[in-house]
Structure 1
């Protein structure tokens, strides 16, 4: 529950609730470098029951975002109201970035990062195309009283800030994802 009694959806980086995964590897590394302070995780899908595809408006083809050998690098910057998932295919080629807007984030007692989801996602494709998804879920949660108006306002303010930084070329977490992936693969 949020501080104001509203219900939040807590999501964990190890995706224990995701039935699609048959076999996985999961790594958590706290990181403090120039430009990043927080936690980085690597979720490696060794074996999945079935691939997962997404299709966005204006895109011709479906995009595979989860399959055998795919990797999701998750960056949890300290004190931010978002986390970034960089999705890679089985050849470590970037498929997409997803910036998940959240009310808060942290690390559980068993060292698994989590975030309290505010529904809004910003999907950025390697081509530079940007999509905001799940606005309807955010609006429904406020309408049902599951989220407060201030959560809604903060979610949109954060999403707009991320979009502005991306358009200016200053959203550095996207640039750091390949480096963080290599660091974790070498550990």
Structure 2
């Protein structure tokens, strides 16, 4: 984000966190063999602000474009390592309103707990990959701009 009209501030755990501002960047990863996506948010210095993990029914590619089918549950991991569980109420409402099936509801919670377990054990590999992927993409952009 080169230039924004105004910063976007969110609040987690009574902390105000700027997630959008000039020269901030986001990287979204949608692993094809997983039921979640990860949005890594970086400040203008390239430092991680937070990771936002969406639990999904499916990640895929259609007509060359990546997509995900969201299952409402989310996990936010702050740069401090603090973990925030979000939107359990939205998942319950989706089930009650027949927006999702019972099997999708169960998939959401299975995935949610699996990701939380990996986060607590320090085995969630996608945080390291987000840093590597961002560096890779920035190198490609620099190469392209030098051509």
| 2:55 is equivalent to residue 101 of structure 1 | yes
> How many residue pairs get matched?
140
Superposition deviation, residue 113 in structure 1: 1.3
Higher strand share: 1
Q: Is the Cα contact below 8 Å between 2:37 and 2:56 reproduced in 1?
A: yes
In 2: Cα distance, 1:144 partner to 1:78 partner = 28
In 1: Cα distance, 2:117 partner to 2:132 partner = 23
Higher helix share: 2
- Where does the alignment leave 5 or more consecutive residues of structure 1 unmatched? 1-44
| 2:129 is equivalent to residue 176 of structure 1 | yes
SS at match of 1:62: strand
1:1-187 pair list within 5 angstroms: 45-57=1-13, 59=14, 61-109=15-63, 111-187=64-140
Relative contact order: is structure 1 or structure 2 higher (C-alpha 8 Å, sep ≥ 6)? 1
SS at match of 1:141: helix
Give me the CA root mean square deviation: 1.2
Superposition deviation, residue 132 in structure 1: 0.9
- Where does the alignment leave 5 or more consecutive residues of structure 2 unmatched? 141-147
Instruction: Give the 4+ runs in structure 1 shifted more than 3 A.
Output: none
In 2: Cα distance, 1:112 partner to 1:90 partner = 27
Deviations 1:78-125 (A, max 9, x none): 22100111100111110000111000011231x321100111111001
